[in-house]
Structure 1
Amino acid sequence: MTRHLFGRLARERDGVTIVEFAFVAPVMFMLLLALLEMGYVAFARSTLESAILVASRESKVAECPAQTAELIEEELMERLAVVSTFNDKPPKLEVRSYGTNFRNVGNPEPFNDIDGSGTWDPGESYQDINGNGQWDDDMGKEGNFGQFGEVVEFSASMEVVSLVPFVAQAINGNEGFYALSAETVVRNEPFKDAEC
């Protein structure tokens, strides 16, 4: 009797589809959520890059680059309002001017390497390009939108809230957010307004 019952159960095909679905569904839903998450992060990164490009363009063609700080920050915040930030931290905008040469971007202030170590050491003389009274590993003038014809680097960073926190934790180990950044380097227009 028992052998006959097991044989009949082994041949039974009712319910096979639901069992197979139970094996496949979790993997399928995880992939779907991961795709949704990656799409959102790509959208946020694209929005950040677009915002920094627009902000840099606004500064580049401004009549008085130094007077455009508020307008540029407003433009950046307005464009990034569609992206939800982690703990409501606003995006961070950093601006540095580098004089008239693109080669200065990201380079340290020149120094006299007495001991030949390849790095600046206290006591070694240096050229204070940015005028802050100390040697810096980046010669850019922080917070400066530059003058006419000067090279300016714009960088923005923000922490974007994850739509699916466990996916974010699995991907980058953070507690439900992605740290994104974008930067661009432009030269301000060389034309000077008489009133500036």
Structure 2
Amino acid sequence: MTIVEFALVAPVMLLLLMGLFDLCYRAYAQSILTGAVQAAGRRGTLEGNSSTTATAALDEAVIRQMRAVANNLTWSSSRKFYRSYSNISAEPFDDANHNNQYDPGECYSDINNNNRWDTDPGNSGQGGANDITVYTMTVTYPRLFPLTGFMGLPTTQEISASTRLKNQPYGSQAADAPETRCG
């Protein structure tokens, strides 16, 4: 009788334990990634870290820390810079139609001067002195227990971390005034 009860309860208990371990592993990996991204972001705000070589070295420092947690990972990173914290949103526009969305022909402030309205007016790269940089790293790694594939769940997990920091005032910054454009 006890063996039958154990045979019924054991698979459910093992499945719950594997789910709990997988969840804890994800939380641990997320905390490592968040800390590494914040540290790399802080180092990136210092003078001399806006070159492609310097940003690649900062990315590699993050990945080095993540490989200790999940060796078989893939990753991607992005950096966008803005002139101020208030620019980290869609470009403002005059909502002539009162429909809360930009429609062609409405006037807008062209913050990044690319002659079109953008939901994200950031420019790629680390930026210059006093710019706000948004640094994001996304990591995909195999799950701790690949049995999730039998349940229809993906066998990999994706986590992401982002930080927003202002670059040090190490040089003169060009002051861009957004132009108002219509159409």
In the superposition, the TM-score normalised over structure 2's length comes to 0.80
Q: CA deviation at 1:49?
A: 0.9
Q: CA deviation at 1:137?
A: 0.5
| Identity percentage of aligned residues | 31
Residues 132/69 of structure 1: CA separation in 2 closer, same or farther (3 Å cut): farther
Structure 1, unpaired ranges of 5+: 1-15
Q: Give the aligned partner of residue 86 of structure 2.
A: 103
Q: In proportion to residue count, which structure has more helix? A: 1
Q: 1:66 aligned to 2:42?
A: no
Aligned partners of 1:169 and 1:175 also within 8 Å: no
Q: Give the aligned partner of residue 4 of structure 1.
A: none
Q: Give the aligned partner of residue 191 of structure 1.
A: 170
CA RMSD of aligned residues (A): 2.3
Q: Give the aligned partner of residue 33 of structure 2.
A: 48
Number of equivalences: 169
Q: 1:79 aligned to 2:65?
A: yes
Detail structure 1 runs of 4+ shifted over 6 Å in the superposition. Answer: none
Q: Give the aligned partner of residue 39 of structure 1.
A: 24
Taking the TM superposition and a 5 Å limit, the aligned residue runs for 1:1-196 are: 16-60=1-45, 62-67=46-51, 68-82=54-68, 83-85=70-72, 90-99=74-83, 101-105=84-88, 107-141=89-123, 143-167=124-148, 174-192=153-171
What residue identity is the alignment partner of 1:140? G
- The SS at the match of 1:91 is strand
Q: CA deviation at 1:169?
A: 7.1
1:21-61 Cα deviation digits (max 9, x unpaired): 2122112211221122112211221122122112101112x
Aligned partners of 1:162 and 1:168 also within 8 Å: no
Q: CA deviation at 1:176?
A: 0.9
- The whole-number CA distance in structure 2 between the counterparts of 1:79 and 1:166 is 26
What residue identity is the alignment partner of 2:96? I
Q: In proportion to residue count, which structure has more strand? A: 2
What residue identity is the alignment partner of 2:14? F
Residues 42/169 of structure 1: CA separation in 2 closer, same or farther (3 Å cut): farther
State the structure with more CA Rg. 1
1:142-191 Cα deviation digits (max 9, x unpaired): x2212112211111112221122344775xx5421222111111111223
